[in-house]
Amino acid sequence: MNILITGNLSSLAVPLAKEFVKEKNKVILASYNVDKIDLKLSNVILHSINPAERIFRDALSSYKPDVIIYLSTREEQLDDIEDEFHAGQQLDGLKSALELSKKGNIRRFIFVSSTEVYGDMTESSEGVVPEPSSINGYSLSLAERYCRIYRDEFDLNLTILRLPYVYGPDEKSGLFFRLIRDGNQKNEILLPDSPDTRCSFLHVEDVVDFVKRAIDDEYSIESLVVNLSSSKPMKYADLENLLSKYYAKVTCISGEKRTVYTRPVAVSAAKRQFDWYEVHNLADEIGEFVDVAPTEVVKKPSVLSSLFDRLSRHPTFLKWTELILGGLAAIYLSQLTGTLIQFQYVDFRLVYVVIMGSIYGLQFGLYSSVIVSLFVLYTWLGLGVDWKLLVYNVGNWFPFVMYFAVGLITGYNHDKTENNILYSQKQYDLVLDKYSFLYEVFNEIRDLKDEFRERLIGYRDSFGKIFTITRELDELQEHAVYFRALNILEELMDNKNIAIYSLDSNRAYARLEVNSAEMSRTIAKSLKLSDYPAALDSIEQGKIFQNSSLLENYPAYIAPVLNNSYPFNVPVAMIVIWTAEFDQYSTYYYNLFKVICGMIEASLVRATLFLDANYDRMYLPATRILNHDAFIDTLKVRLEMKKNKIAEFQVIALQESEVDVQKKYAKISLGIRSADVVGILRNGSSYILLSQADKQASLEVVERLEKLGVKGRLIEANEVPMG
């Protein structure tokens, strides 16, 4: 499954990607701030592309995403966003993602919003129309309307997810992370609201758990809007008490007026529709995050550096400040050096104009020219010179012309250079995005080519595989066929959780014949078929059962083995794959299992028919007691199976002679199962092979036989003479 995560990736993107990759999904992270994500996983693709740009849909449509998750900018992220994803950009990006989902077959679109859309409302259920009280809340409310329109117009499987504050190990932009950071680095922790205001913190793993449930669940209109919140909300005063336990020397300051609107809300749809409940609780886990938070102490900056730092955050204000201060400095230097009206070789006013035009462009170059020109006029008037002399004497215009000419020239050159740089940078970014996208497409095509090549080689050699299967199954001993069939299934199905069972005549119980070595300690020796009602119809009809609904305690696959002689189409055995990987629930895997089981089925039935047809040659008259040769062949197969840890058996040596065993076979058959084997060697010694039995069960069989009048003892398999 391809999952696209876009929007503001500073929150939730990393934990979502890590969880989806565990299930072998391909995750595409695409947004303007993807370069801030440090995530190196094989199935994660990073694209630095703003979803608000036109190229977004064209670039991402090639991945054919099955799920799109759009992460909005929530209230708790606003303080840490350097290049803020403004409301207009957020809506444009959401529209691009919705358009992308409209064109593709999207399984689920999830828009992650915030509980701040409820503002100061007393009601906070999913059914009410939200009334925001903040700018960001209005932006999110409008984005939710976008989503509703696309859901109604294009029948999009869309879920709006409203979250409270989020915390966790990969959450680096939330309120809780900033509080912990301030506690380690500063002398005070600033809480965003008054102490009696209620708040809610939800762990990222609980959010990820809901998103997975929403993707896997069948869509309904009830899942259009879903609130998530902690079942144990707290007040900011409680949060202050928790922080004070770890930061005793740090002062917690509460906000005087309400500045945030993220709040606890009523959770209904998540519990009713998705059976979701949060697992984590901040009050119990706060110590884990305090321990891992940074501990370095930042030196307190000086007043001057703090002033410069604040000015640098407001470039527009900085420009005007420099314009005014620079003008005052030029006027002061002109008065200090006696350069009042006349234009001399060294003119500080001209230097000021050159500096402002070169640094800030044409607009501020002209502003600086106006300032120094006004100063010159003021100086003229201050000297008592008639203004007519200034106007009618063209020579007196020269300083003004020079100021404006220099401001125009330097400002124009600056703006031209800036425009060229900006244009080149945009071209570079565009080319870089295109080449990055083409490089990713090239790698994907190369991977597909290698995969197709492997499949082509496999298909080309399919005749060889068929020959190998038929040759390995060319056995006439029933358990030898079981043994070979298991090896073939494990190899071709790439699975080590396979078992083969035989069915009794009533098809009420399935008895284990062979199983994969890794399951020897956990697998049951027999199954009651009534415990698997969902699979009974498939077994009776001779169809393969696939646990596509992921029913608990059910195998992944069950393939019945049908008897092709009278009575026809009666299941006599079944092949079971107990567990399978996520990608092994595909149609290709199902068809491969069906073909291999069909070939194995023919061999198993053929071996059974052979035993029935050669009854006189293999068994003693009127009994199911194997003669020497048949018993030794069976024992060798059982020993090989035991050596490979795919089957278990025990041996009971009988103290009866050959004649006594034949006479007492009716009693012996009452004490053993139909799957157990009785055999007599040439020297007259008799043995019983107990299939899939441990020592404790075998001792119980010995006691049961003694009560029936047949004496025997449990021995090791290597004590049976093979000669």
pLDDT of residue 109: 92
CB within 8 Å of 307: residues ≥ 6 apart: none
Cβ proximity of 624 and 692 under 8 Å:
no
pLDDT of residue 86: 62
pLDDT of residue 311: 63
d(CA 580, CA 489): 13
| Three-class secondary structure of residue 406 per DSSP | helix
What is the share, in percent, of the chain residues with pLDDT greater than 70? 85
Beta bridge mates, 440:
none
Same domain, 710 and 561: no
Residue 319 lies in a domain: yes
Q: Check pLDDT > 70 for residue 548.
A: yes
Of these ranges, 54-63, 439-448, 530-539, 590-599, the one predicted with the greatest mean pLDDT is 530-539
CB within 8 Å of 219: residues ≥ 6 apart: 108, 157
Q: Check pLDDT > 60 for residue 299.
A: no
Q: What is the mean pLDDT of residues 626-646?
A: 82
Residue 433 lies in a domain: no
**Domain at 637, CATH number:** 3.30.70.270
Among 586, 613, 640, where does a domain finish? Answer: 613
pLDDT of residue 401: 81
Residue 564 lies in a domain: yes
d(CA 515, CA 587): 24
Q: Check pLDDT > 60 for residue 8.
A: yes
pLDDT of residue 707: 85
Residue 173 lies in a domain: no
Residue 423 lies in a domain: no
Q: What is the mean pLDDT of residues 597-616?
A: 70
pLDDT of residue 708: 85
pLDDT of residue 178: 87
| Residue 500: exposure state from Cβ atoms within 10 A (0-12, 13-18, ≥19) | buried
pLDDT of residue 82: 44
Q: What is the mean pLDDT of residues 134-155?
A: 89
Per-residue pLDDT reduced to its tens digit, 503-522:
877 878 888 888 888 787 77
Same domain, 592 and 697: no
Q: What is the DSSP string of 138-188?
A: HHHHHHHHHHHHHHHHH---EEEEEE-EEE-TT--SSHHHHHHHHHHHSSE
Same domain, 274 and 308: no
Per-residue pLDDT reduced to its tens digit, 435-447:
878 877 877 787 7
Q: Check pLDDT > 90 for residue 165.
A: yes
Same domain, 162 and 67: yes
Q: Check pLDDT > 60 for residue 468.
A: no
Residue 219 lies in a domain: yes
d(CA 497, CA 222): 39
Single-letter amino acid, residue 227: N
| Residue 176: exposure state from Cβ atoms within 10 A (0-12, 13-18, ≥19) | buried
What is the share, in percent, of the chain residues with pLDDT greater than 90? 11
pLDDT of residue 312: 63
Q: What is the mean pLDDT of residues 260-288?
A: 88
Question: Tokens 């009866």 belong to which residue?
Answer: 656
Query: What mean pLDDT, rounded, does the chain reach?
Result: 81
More reliable by pLDDT, 297 or 280:
280
Residue 93 lies in a domain: yes
Beta bridge mates, 574:
501, 560
Report the Cα–Cα distance between both ends of the chain, in Å, rounded.
60
Same domain, 622 and 683: yes
Cβ proximity of 224 and 151 under 8 Å:
yes
pLDDT of residue 295: 41
More reliable by pLDDT, 7 or 436:
7
Go through 697-713 and write b for each residue having 16 or more CB atoms within 10 A of its CB, e for each that does not.
ebeebbeebeeeebebe
- Quote the domain boundaries for residue 125: 2-166+202-231+261-278
Beta bridge mates, 712:
654
pLDDT of residue 478: 64
Residue 234: enclosing H or E segment and its boundaries?
strand 234-235
pLDDT of residue 576: 92
Question: Tokens 């407001």 belong to which residue?
Answer: 314
CB within 8 Å of 11: residues ≥ 6 apart: 71, 74, 77, 166, 171, 173, 174
| Three-class secondary structure of residue 572 per DSSP | strand
Residue 469: enclosing H or E segment and its boundaries?
helix 462-472
Cβ proximity of 163 and 199 under 8 Å:
no
CB within 8 Å of 700: residues ≥ 6 apart: none
Same domain, 318 and 271: no
**Domain at 484, CATH number:** 3.30.450.40
Angle (CA) 207 184 292, round 5°: 50
Angstrom distances, CA of residue 402 to CA of 74, 206, 360: 52, 68, 19
* Overall number of domains in the chain: 4
Beta bridge mates, 226:
161
Angstrom distances, CA of residue 484 to CA of 473, 589, 644, 677: 6, 20, 12, 20
Query: Tokens in use for 542?
Result: 């001779």
d(CA 119, CA 262): 8
pLDDT confidence tier of residue 581, bands split at 50, 70 and 90: confident
Q: What is the mean pLDDT of residues 15-39?
A: 87
Cβ proximity of 278 and 230 under 8 Å:
yes
pLDDT confidence tier of residue 3, bands split at 50, 70 and 90: very high
**Domain at 145, CATH number:** 3.40.50.720
Same domain, 129 and 80: yes
pLDDT of residue 308: 62
Same domain, 360 and 500: no
Cβ proximity of 664 and 710 under 8 Å:
yes
Beta bridge mates, 659:
none
Query: Tokens in use for 367?
Result: 């502003």
| Residue 281: exposure state from Cβ atoms within 10 A (0-12, 13-18, ≥19) | middle
Sign of the C-alpha dihedral, residues 451, 454, 457, 458?
negative
d(CA 466, CA 484): 14
More reliable by pLDDT, 463 or 201:
201
Which of 135-149, 225-239, 417-431, 605-619 shows the lowest mean pLDDT across its residues? 605-619
Q: What is the pTM of this model?
A: 0.47
pLDDT confidence tier of residue 293, bands split at 50, 70 and 90: very low
Cα Rg, the chain, nearest whole Å: 41
Same domain, 81 and 221: yes
Residue 544 lies in a domain: yes
pLDDT confidence tier of residue 256, bands split at 50, 70 and 90: low
Same domain, 24 and 159: yes
d(CA 331, CA 327): 6
pLDDT confidence tier of residue 387, bands split at 50, 70 and 90: low
Same domain, 215 and 151: yes
pLDDT of residue 111: 94
Cβ proximity of 501 and 515 under 8 Å:
no
| Three-class secondary structure of residue 236 per DSSP | helix
Residue 636: enclosing H or E segment and its boundaries?
helix 628-643
Q: Check pLDDT > 70 for residue 605.
A: yes
| Three-class secondary structure of residue 409 per DSSP | helix
Same domain, 128 and 50: yes
